[in-house]
Amino acid sequence: MAYSPSSSAQQARQALASRLADLCRDAGLTGAELAERCGWSRSKSSRIMNARTPPSADDIRAWCQACGAEEQAEDLIASLRTAEGMWVTWRRMERAGLKQAQEARLPLYQRTRRFRSYSSWLVPGMIQTRPYTTAALQAIQRRRGLADDVADAVAARMERQRVLCEGERRFAFLVEESVVRSGVGGPEVMIGQLGHLIAVSSRPNVSLGVVPMRPDRERWPVEGFWIYDTAQVNVELVSGYLTITQPSEIALYADTFAELAKLALYGAKARALLKDAMDRLG
């Protein structure tokens, strides 16, 4: 289980460690006795119980067998998988290809009714054009040396965009001005993308804000993130994909979104900025 800076991920690891420690105590075993039954060093049991070292699935099975609680093994392994899923490196997420990484998020989008998205790097995927998505995913595929399934991944992302038009969903997008002034795919792709943003901003269920570049900002750009209802936040970092479920952390991102939203331009002012960016590219 890779280290994550998120307290949500750490809380999940600690909860699993506490459950394993409880099993050991309920069985009347010390950490040293459990280690002996499992054929481990004493320090390994201590590290697992104190959440310093994550157990493997086999470690959990051995632990449960030593405690006479084999029936709990699969449930604990499921908890392990949940904790692991809170922090995923890009290499691990994309090891089966970009298409699968795109498809894996669809259920989350389908069950969400209120979306908030902030981006300081790229146009959010939900409102990308096909050429923009193609250029972005091709760049990722080349940079990370992945198998070339870009065409299928693009199709999966375009299919996911259907949720924009389905049901009673609301979307609030914030992008930094730098996202629309520089981009991917060249001038023609960017002009088409900016025109699409102007069109999308007129949808009744969509709010599009552009945070202008200023020399006196007190709330500076941060990492890109999505807020799904009030249940989950996903953050895209250079090294991986972070899932946050702890309410206090979700609230921090919601507050950050609100602060950035106050700085943004909307409506005619946002469209004028987008049109100016198009004119400069053209």
Q: What's the CA gap between 256 and 120, in Å, rounded?
A: 13
Q: What is the pLDDT of residue 87?
A: 78
Residue 212 has pLDDT above 90, yes or no: yes
Residue type at 230? Answer: T
CATH 3.30.870.10 describes domain 89-281 = yes
Predicted confidence at residue 65, as pLDDT, reads 95
Greater confidence, 12 or 73? 73
| pLDDT number for residue 88 | 81
The order of strands in the sheet holding 87-89 is 87-89, 240-244, 232-236, 225-228, 114-119, 170-176, 206-211
In the predicted structure, residue 249 carries a pLDDT above the cut 90: no
Mean per-residue pLDDT for 117-144?
96
CATH class of the region 7-85? mainly alpha
Q: Taking the model in full, what pTM does it have?
A: 0.78
Tell me what the mean pLDDT of segment 163-181 comes to. Answer: 96
| Interval 30-62: pLDDT, tens | 999 999 999 999 899 999 999 888 899 899 999
DSSP string, 51-95: TSSPPPHHHHHHHHHHTT-GGGHHHHHHHHHHHHHTEEEHHHHTT
Q: Helical H runs in the chain? A: 7-26, 31-38, 42-49, 57-66, 73-85, 90-93, 98-103, 106-111, 130-144, 150-160, 177-181, 187-200, 247-263, 267-281
The predicted structure's pLDDT at residue 98: 94
Per residue in 84-124, pLDDT (tens digit) is 768 788 888 888 889 998 998 899 999 999 999 999 999 99
- What confidence category does residue 207 fall into, taking pLDDT thresholds of 50, 70 and 90? very high
Mean pLDDT calculated for residue range 217-246 = 91
Given a cut of 50, whether residue 3 has pLDDT beyond it is: no
Cβ burial 102-127 (10 Å sphere, 16+ → b, else e): bbebeeebeebeebbbbbbbbbbbbb
If pLDDT is split at 50, 70 and 90, which confidence band does 6 have? Answer: low
Cα separation, 178 vs 181, whole angstroms: 5
Q: Taking all residues of the chain, what is their mean pLDDT, rounded to a whole number?
A: 92
Percentage of residues in the chain having pLDDT higher than 70 = 96
Q: How confident is the model at residue 7 (pLDDT cuts 50, 70, 90)?
A: low
Q: Under a CB-based contact definition with an 8 Å cutoff, are residues 261 and 167 in contact?
A: no
More confident position, 276 or 8: 276
As a whole number, mean pLDDT of residues 69-76 equals 91
- Is residue 2 scored above 60 in pLDDT? no
Nearest to 127 by CA among 101, 105, 157, 97: 157
pLDDT recorded at residue 8:
63
Residue spans of the domains in the chain: they are 7-85, 89-281
Q: Model confidence at 161, in pLDDT bands (50, 70, 90)? A: very high
Same fold, 7-85 and 89-281: no
**What CA–CA distance (Å, rounded) separates 241 from 239?**
7
Percent of the chain with pLDDT over 90: 74
